[in-house]
Chain A
Amino acid sequence: MSLLCLGLEGTAHSFGAGVVSSKGEVLSNIWHMLSPAEGGIHPREASRHHSDMGPGIIRRSLEEAGISHNEIQLVSFSRGPGLGPCLRTTATMARTLAQKLSVPLIGVNHCVAHIEIGCLESGFEDPVTIYASGGNTQVIAFAGGRFRTFGETLDIALGNMLDVFGRTIGMSFPAGPSIERKAAEGVEYHQLPYSVKGMDLSYSGMLTAAKKLHLEGVPIADICLSIQETAFGMLAEVAERAVAHTKKNELLLTGGVARNNRLTEILEGVAERHGASFHRVSPPLAGDQGAMIAWTGILQHQAGDELPISDSHVMPKWRTDEQDIIWRRKL
């Protein structure tokens, strides 16, 4: 008999609830993203969004999965890393449900969940993962019983850089898709700071330079083209360093920026050069959502993990490499 897990995600601007079975079937995956009319995300507003929208989203998730509350056998939640107020609101919902239903509670690392749902979808066993979103830009691979961050941004995340530039030129949030469309019309490449340091990278310098190009009157399509080519080229280089260094033969792209076709094309090229398989996680599973939390909750539960309510405080600074990955064979 297969086990059903309800997973709640709420680390930043999105709240999501998903139901996944222990056979790896995603029965439902509902989420809603706070998109402010202007400006960025305020943690308190996001947490209010989660508490307002949460119960309705959970109900819809159960309806779509075609199950009632008492068929849930496990509740998992995004315990970190993320914005404190958002994490606490989500954790409160998860604790309440687990207690009310008398089922085990599981705390899941948000970044680890992105990798595990990607592995479920792709069938990959041991990939180098590129996780690029509004809040994260990391190159992660499994080594010595943990997911280790081989490289990451030294300042702002790739998605954040795209959003901030987009906001400067009047695009709405998230700006990535608009930038991708504009870039397709671009003709001339303008050089932007290319900043790779070992397996780390930095995007703040190119953001400043791109804003400057805009002030100088360079056509927006050309700036978008230049931003994409430079930013994705940098990410490709660190991905390539990680693949060459770890000698793994799978490359997985996930996170909100995974929906970009140009980035996908570049990383496909990287994988091909090193004889590795490539997979881009499909948009519904690449963004922040509950199904990834539910699936990782199942993996942890099956390996014997459980989180007592009294120890279930949230971990806003929970690093990817701080969790022992007990459900994976130690390499």
Chain B
Amino acid sequence: MAHRRTGHNLEAQTLKKQLLTLGAESAIYKVEYWGRTLALKWRPIKPYLHNEIDKLLRTSRTSRECKMLTFVRTLGVPTPAVYSVDISNHLILMDFIEGQQFKQLASVSSKKRITTLCREFGKLLGTMHMSDVVHGDPTTSNAVVDTQSKMWLVDFGLAEKNATIEMKGVDMHLLRRAYETTHWDLQETMLESTMDGYIDISGDNAEPVLTRANKIRERGRYH
């Protein structure tokens, strides 16, 4: 299978690997490959889902993630480089970012550092939105800060191109939600600094997106 058009054969079982995280839809392993330390992302079968839905999701998200990680990097947003993909086994081999999740860092850092990081987070999202790309799950779990304090965005399985104001509004709504649920004691500061960074990059384009985000927040609720 190694040279089929579906991609490189990266059978998860055959690699010497260390499980880093078991996420909602994937497992991420730290692997030694080609003499380097890399990350291997695997989307395993979910036996409790209808098999057609499960197969479709695993395939489309693996493919989407590869494309979007690469595309977004051309915009100047740091993302792990993709080295290889095995579509039939739903595996992606990419850079391993040595660092910490922004989520964990935010609970132990000084307010000044958090403000700086939030502004950077906002800038990265603004950069993507300016090119009509949404991340789809912009939480602090999906930003990694490396040992040089550089912020990387990861997890692009829900990302989309040709984004509308509505899609960007959803992105900003999700970001605010993440601050509310996970960083409740710092949510105002974090939201404010993120917006500063976002508006820095987006300028006049920010206003319609943020207005829409507020509308989305009020939608769907029972009240």
Contacts and interface: CB of A to CB of B under 8 A. Distances in A.
B24 A241 contact: yes
Contacts of A277: none
Contacts of A200: 170, 173-174, 177
B220 A154 contact: yes
Question: Residue among B158, B177, B178 with the most chain A CB within 10 A?
Answer: B177
B46 A191 contact: no
Interface stretch (A16-24, A169-177, A305-313, A315-323): A315-323
B48 A155 contact: no
B221 A198 contact: no
B169 to A, nearest CB: 10
Given A230-B53, A237-B24, A269-B48, A148 B180 contact: yes
Interface string B180-205: 11101100000000000000000000
Interface string A285-298: 00000000000000
B222 interface: yes
Contact of B180 (A233, A269, A317, A321): A321
Interface residues of B, number: 36
Q: For A149, A198, A236, which residue has the most chain B Cβ atoms within 10 angstroms?
A: A198
A247 B194 CA distance: 26
B139 A153 contact: no
Contact of B48 (A191, A244, A265, A321): A265
Nearest to B49: A233
Binding site secondary structure of chain A: mixed
A198 B138 contact: yes
A229 B53 contact: yes
A45 to B, nearest CB: 18
A154 B24 contact: no
Contacts of A146: 184
A198 B177 contact: yes
B184 A244 contact: no
9 contacts: A81-B221, A154-B220, A189-B53, A194-B56, A196-B158, A200-B170, A240-B24, A244-B22, A273-B46
Given A149-B181, A197-B137, A233-B50, 19 more contacts: A136-B222, A141-B181, A148-B180, A150-B181, A155-B220, A157-B222, A198-B137, A198-B158, A198-B174, A229-B50, A233-B49, A233-B54, A266-B49, A269-B46, A273-B46, A273-B48, A316-B223, A317-B223, A319-B221
